[in-house]
Structure 1
Amino acid sequence: MTSPQTNPSDGGPEEFREAVASLNSVSIRPEVTLEPIRAPQRLAPYSYALGAEVLIDPEGDIPEANGRLVLLHDPDGDEAWHGTLRLVSYVSATIEQDMATDPALSDASWTWLTDALAQTGAEYAALGGTVTKTASQRYGDLAGPEATNDLEMRASWTALTSDLSGHLRAWVDLLASAAGAPPPGVSLIARRDSTSA
């Protein structure tokens, strides 16, 4: 028997089906690739998940940021959620050294999310999360740059309506901000070749 978590389009409460449909109806920025992924199985009676990557340089092959957004639904509600629809977000991005040492980075990163939710008109409650900065040093035969700095953001909040389109647009904006993408409609200026006039 197929569980509701793995096949949300087949049955499930109407509120959950509406929420999933609204997530799948959003047009997103061209730098962002978004696709359904396997949802966690034991966090709620119904769940659905999306994975995303941000690739700013069209000729590059390493995403500047990636993440996942999980929708949890409990028809009976959850006291800690203050509702029946919970969104759980994870975002990871590689950042420059000067950003990694900026003491205001954590606060600024959190406002990327709260500002995006406000700008898209997403109604929510019980928002909480963490921002973590990590520095990694590679040694020996491990491939990749010797040193990297990463930003990780984990957050969850309760959607107050089953239309999650504004929530998804806000989350995509958060991903783009973490990746250092320009605002929508603005293109990065390509470096001029030193031999050009």
Structure 2
Amino acid sequence: MVFRDAVATLQAPPPRREIELSEIRPPKRLAPWTYALAAETSGPEGTAVTARLVLLHDPEGQPSWEGVLRLVLYLRGDVGSDLAGDPGLAELGWSWLTEALHSCRADHTALGGTVTATCSARFGDIAEPAREHELELRGSWTPSDSELTAHARAFQEVIGTAAGLPPVGVSVLGNRTAERRRHG
């Protein structure tokens, strides 16, 4: 069965150690068959990111999907005030998804979505922090087939990028020059 195979391959890659990944109750009204994952992480500078990936399956297909499977990503993450004011923030956020799909070789069609940046000002008893800046990325695409391992990896990659985590296999080294001066 297409849906069962798709779910199995979506679950196949182990999560990055920095990302807490769990199965959640999927939305029911979007397609006859649904499955969903949730993820949370914090980057090295405390950047909190939460995300969901929903798999939709309609055996009849839907014209806008251009297929019988559809993946829907929702990601929300903190951004610094310097980045929040950047006029290219929306394009940057969108590139996280497109580059993750490309680098993971997650073949797809019908990619679309939105990027929203918000600034919340707090007052009174909840005044800390005074301002919070968030980026919200929503994207959906049709995978080329039911083998979704690459799409699961892309999901984790976009989360890591949004949180400021180093790429998989790359270690962040401390400032060795300053370290040598202290001990040298």
TM-score (norm. length: structure 1): 0.84
2:94 aligned residue? 110
Give the Cα–Cα distance (whole angstroms) in 1 for the partners of residues 140 and 13 of structure 2.
20
Give the Cα–Cα distance (whole angstroms) in 1 for the partners of residues 129 and 173 of structure 2.
25
| Alpha-carbon distance, 1:117 to partner | 0.8
Q: Alpha-carbon deviations, 1:9-32, whole Å to 9, x = none?
A: xxxxx1000000011111232111
Give the Cα–Cα distance (whole angstroms) in 2 for the partners of residues 171 and 144 of structure 1.
31
Contact 2:47 2:79 in 1 (8 A): no
* Alignment-mate amino acid for residue 19 of structure 2: V
Give the Cα–Cα distance (whole angstroms) in 1 for the partners of residues 73 and 153 of structure 2.
13
1:49 aligned residue? 36
1:27 aligned residue? 14
Give the Cα–Cα distance (whole angstroms) in 2 for the partners of residues 106 and 180 of structure 1.
16
Higher relative contact order (CA 8 A, sep 6+): 2
1:141 aligned residue? 125
Give the Cα–Cα distance (whole angstroms) in 2 for the partners of residues 65 and 89 of structure 1.
13
* 1:15 and 2:6 matched: no
Contact 2:38 2:51 in 1 (8 A): yes
2:108 aligned residue? 124
Give the Cα–Cα distance (whole angstroms) in 2 for the partners of residues 68 and 137 of structure 1.
26
1:144 to 1:84, Cα distance in 2 relative to 1, 3 A: farther
1:78 aligned residue? 62
Q: Alpha-carbon deviations, 1:44-102, whole Å to 9, x = none?
A: 00000000011235xx9x76211100000000111110000000110011011111111
Structure 2: give runs of 5+ residues left out of the alignment: none
1:161 aligned counterpart, secondary structure: coil
Structure having the larger proportion of residues in helix: 2
Contact 1:91 1:152 in 2 (8 A): yes
2:72 aligned residue? 88
Give the Cα–Cα distance (whole angstroms) in 2 for the partners of residues 129 and 166 of structure 1.
19
1:141 aligned counterpart, secondary structure: helix
How many residue pairs match? The answer is 179
Percent of paired sites with the same residue? 46
Contact 2:49 2:75 in 1 (8 A): yes
* 1:163 and 2:155 matched: no
Give the Cα–Cα distance (whole angstroms) in 1 for the partners of residues 11 and 82 of structure 2.
37
2:26 aligned counterpart, secondary structure: coil
Structure 1: give runs of 5+ residues left out of the alignment: 1-13
TM-score (norm. length: structure 2): 0.90
